[in-house]
């Protein structure tokens, strides 16, 4: 009897909680919908000048001036829309919209918001400063790379990318290896990718960092950006680094920007005493390098015990012109060569 009453009571409580949850979700959605409608209404008179400026058709500056006149809540809504627009356009129209934000005091407000107690405000502030390319805030954004909240650290890194000041490259790279408050390697790489050629020396230094993820990003970007001055460091990492992922990344980078003299070092690390992933990376890099001096070593690898490695060697030889093709003579029926030829024809067909 007591058990049945308990069951009914528990059911009622659960149903009540579910009902409350549904009401809450509906209320939140209704509030959001009503706020969106209010924002649309407030923005509607400002929409035509906003589109005129964003499309680069505000030759006399009248539309820009109209936007600067916005006040109160309309200004807040407009500034939010301008920030969103800045993620979509670049060039003179973007500069004009940044000018509107400056006149509205939104850039100064964002500087103040970087120290707000709200994580969301800090992250949004960093985003705005990046989109506004506010160069004078680089030191503040660098400080924000050590923020307690991951979203703020990410936002600061993404902001520093488009600002492009090479001074920030070192701190962004170092933030990858920061204990507890680190930056994801992919985020740092993306931010650094946006910066100019002034970061090449920072990347060279980064290849000597104690943190393997930092060395990996530095090696990867040196290859991506074709910073040939980093070649001595890349060779050293491929030879000696204790982390195999760093070695693989270095091999790939050497494949992209190396020279004929790099065939030897890459071949040296295709031997079967090396980790398989590294051997494969070196074979791919030899193909990328495309130097005929690699043909004998690649031909030997056609008989490797690892079928994938043999296929990669065949693929590399296929890209090396007559020298590579002659090395494949007599191996036409090998599974690795057939597979490599098939892959090459599929790639040609889809290109």
Binding site for other proteins (CB under 8 A): 47, 51-52, 54-57, 81, 84-94, 350-351
Q: Quick check: 328 and 314 in contact, CB under 8 A?
A: yes
Q: Write out the DSSP string of 145-180.
A: TT-SSHHHHHHHHHHHHHH--GGGHHHHHHHHT-SS
- Nearest residue (CB) to other proteins, 85 versus 103: 85
Q: State in angstroms the smallest separation of the CB of 159 from other proteins.
A: 14
The nearest distance, CB 167 to other proteins, in angstroms, is 24
Nearest to 144, CA basis, from 86, 121, 82: 121
Among the listed residues 105, 159, 158, the one whose alpha carbon sits nearest the alpha carbon of residue 129: 159
Angstrom distance (rounded) from CA 240 to CA 238: 6
CB of 42 to other proteins, least distance (A): 16
Of the pair 56, 198, the CB lying nearest other proteins is at: 56
Min dist. Cβ of residue 96 to other proteins (A): 12
- CB-wise, 273 or 350, nearer to other proteins? 350
**Residue carrying structure tokens 């920061």:** 178
189, two tokens: 């790489």
How is residue 230 annotated by DSSP? G
Using the structure block, give the residue that is written with the tokens 């993820």: 213
Q: Which is nearer to other proteins, 195 or 328 (CB)?
A: 195
CB of 306 vs other proteins, minimal distance in Å: 26
Nearer to other proteins, 14 or 346 (CB): 346
């Amino acid at each position: 009897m007591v058990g049945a009453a308990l069951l009914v009571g528990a059911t009622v409580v659960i149903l009540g909680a579910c009902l409350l949850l549904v009401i809450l979700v509906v209320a939140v959605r209704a509030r959001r919908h009503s706020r969106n409608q209010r924002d649309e209404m407030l923005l509607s008179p400002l929409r035509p000048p906003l589109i005129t400026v964003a499309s680069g058709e505000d030759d006399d500056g009248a539309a820009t001036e109209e936007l600067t006149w916005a006040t109160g809540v309309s200004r807040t809504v407009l500034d939010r829309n301008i920030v969103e627009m800045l993620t979509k356009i670049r060039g003179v129209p973007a500069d004009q919209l940044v000018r509107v934000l400056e006149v509205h005091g939104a850039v100064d407000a964002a500087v103040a918001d970087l120290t707000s107690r709200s994580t969301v405000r800090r992250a949004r502030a960093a985003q705005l400063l990046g989109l506004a390319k506010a160069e004078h805030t680089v030191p503040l954004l660098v400080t924000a790379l050590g923020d307690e909240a991951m979203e703020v650290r990410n936002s600061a890194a993404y902001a520093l990318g488009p600002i492009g000041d090479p001074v920030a490259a070192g701190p962004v790279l170092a933030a990858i290896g920061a204990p507890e408050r680190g930056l994801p390697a992919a985020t740092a790489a993306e931010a650094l990718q946006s910066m100019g050629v002034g970061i090449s020396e920072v990347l060279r230094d980064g290849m000597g960092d104690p943190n393997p993820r930092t060395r990996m990003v530095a090696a990867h970007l040196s290859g991506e950006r074709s910073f040939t001055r980093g070649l001595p460091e890349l060779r050293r990492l491929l030879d000696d680094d204790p982390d195999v992922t760093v070695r693989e990344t270095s091999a790939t980078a050497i494949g992209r920007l190396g020279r004929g003299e790099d065939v030897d070092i890459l071949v040296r690390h295709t031997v079967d005493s090396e980790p398989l992933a590294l051997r494969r990376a070196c074979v791919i890099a030899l193909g990328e390098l495309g130097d005929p001096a690699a043909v004998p070593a690649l031909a030997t690898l056609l008989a490797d015990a690892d079928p994938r490695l043999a296929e990669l060697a065949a693929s590399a030889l296929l890209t090396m012109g007559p020298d590579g093709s002659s090395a494949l003579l007599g191996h036409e029926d090998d599974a690795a060569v057939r597979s490599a030829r098939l892959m090459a024809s599929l790639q040609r067909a889809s290109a």
